């Protein structure tokens, strides 16, 4: 079964079926940012810092938090019409507060992606797993996700095994070649790093 990162979620098809545009943008932002469900659904314009490319969350599960606002998410937010009656990026359709209608489209997201057990929180784990598997350390990954302590990010430690194995193979290959008397050319970045020591 594919992971969320490997699946193709035809969000535009869901939108064409009459889904609320706010729900579509919220779902896309969950996938792009790794933010918690209500950090995006309850996002206020005052928390969006376009100039510095960050979210400045006033109140999260871990208190105030500054998180990166990726370019792709900025493009989405730039298209959202700001309501003069609300501080929320996604105001409620009726009354006060923020939009609560993402649960209506979530069954379609699950069905069209072929991932029956996916939740908005799964998207958060996807960002964490992708960050670690692409070489980000656990501290940086924790910062991306707004974790207050390293224990929360430790669940991604297993993902670091594959990059570690590849690095081990590269190093062992050089050592094995040297032991057997084979010439092992050194790349320019390796020479620069060696000279900087």
Average pLDDT over the chain, rounded to an integer: 79
- The percentage of residues in the chain with a pLDDT greater than 90, rounded to a whole number, is 27
- For tokens 């929320």, the residue is 88
Instruction: Give 127-146 pLDDT, tens digit per residue.
Output: 888 888 777 777 777 888 88
pLDDT confidence tier of residue 88, bands split at 50, 70 and 90:
very high
User: What pLDDT, on the 0 to 100 scale, is given for residue 161?
Assistant: 62
pLDDT at 165 over 90: no
Is residue 3 a part of any domain in this protein? no
Q: Are residues 171 and 82 located together in one domain of the fold? A: no
Q: Report residue 23 as tokens.
A: 């729900």
Q: Are residues 133 and 177 located together in one domain of the fold? A: no
Angle, alpha carbons 141-113-163 (nearest 5°): 35
Domain containing residue 28: CATH number: 1.10.443.10
Q: How far apart are alpha carbons 23 and 36 in whole angstroms?
A: 15
Is residue 4 a part of any domain in this protein? no
pTM exceeds 0.85 for this model: no
User: What pLDDT, on the 0 to 100 scale, is given for residue 53?
Assistant: 92
User: What pLDDT, on the 0 to 100 scale, is given for residue 155?
Assistant: 65
Q: Are residues 122 and 61 located together in one domain of the fold? A: yes
pLDDT confidence tier of residue 18, bands split at 50, 70 and 90:
confident
User: What pLDDT, on the 0 to 100 scale, is given for residue 153?
Assistant: 67
Between 130 and 150, the higher pLDDT residue: 130
Q: 96: phi > 0 → left, psi -120 to 50 → alpha, else beta; which?
A: beta
Instruction: Give 32-65 pLDDT, tens digit per residue.
Output: 888 889 999 999 999 999 999 999 999 888 888 8
Q: Are residues 20 and 101 located together in one domain of the fold? A: yes
Count of domains in the chain?
Answer: 2
């Amino acid at each position: 079964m594919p992971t969320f990162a490997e699946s193709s979620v035809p969000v535009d098809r869901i939108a064409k079926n009459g889904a609320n545009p706010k729900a579509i943008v919220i779902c896309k932002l969950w996938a792009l940012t790794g933010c918690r469900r209500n950090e995006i659904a309850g996002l206020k314009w005052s928390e969006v810092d376009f100039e510095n490319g960050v979210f400045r969350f006033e109140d999260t599960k871990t208190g105030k938090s500054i998180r990166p606002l990726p370019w792709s998410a900025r493009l989405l937010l730039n298209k959202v019409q700001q309501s003069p009656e609300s501080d929320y990026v996604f105001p409620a359709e009726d009354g006060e507060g923020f939009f609560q209608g993402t649960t209506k489209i979530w069954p379609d997201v699950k069905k069209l992606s072929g991932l029956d057990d996916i939740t908005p929180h799964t998207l958060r784990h996807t960002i964490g797993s992708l960050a670690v598997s692409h070489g980000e350390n656990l501290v940086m990954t924790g910062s991306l996700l707004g974790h207050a302590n390293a224990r929360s990010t430790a669940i991604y430690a297993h993902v670091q095994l594959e990059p570690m194995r590849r690095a081990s193979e590269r190093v062992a290959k050089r050592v094995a070649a040297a032991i057997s008397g084979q010439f092992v050319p050194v790349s320019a970045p390796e020479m620069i790093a060696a000279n900087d020591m």
